[in-house]
Amino acid sequence: MNYKYDSAADVILIRLRSGKPEFGEQEGNIITHYSKDNKPIEIEILNASKSMFKVAKSIIAKHATTCTSA
C-alpha cells in the first residue's frame, strides 16, 4: 500500500494493490476504485484537507471521551 497527496487538487490517493481500476463508486468525498473482479484497487479522498481534519477531530473527540471516562 502507498499513498500520495496532490496539494493542487487537494486529493489523497491511497493505492491498495496493483492492478488497473475498472470502475469506481463515490460516497461523499470518497471514491473507491475497483478491479473487474470487484476488489478495491485504490481510494481517493476529495477535499482531503477538510475531510481529514474532520476525521482527526472525530478521533480526538472519541479518544478524549474514552480517556476521561476511565
Domain segments of the chain: what residues? 2-68
Read off the pLDDT of each residue in 32-59 and give the average, rounded to a whole number: 85
Which string of DSSP letters, residue by residue, matches 17-48? SSS---EEEEETTEEEEE-TTS-EEEEEETTH
pTM: 0.73
pLDDT by residue (tens digit) across 20-42?
999 999 999 999 999 999 999 99
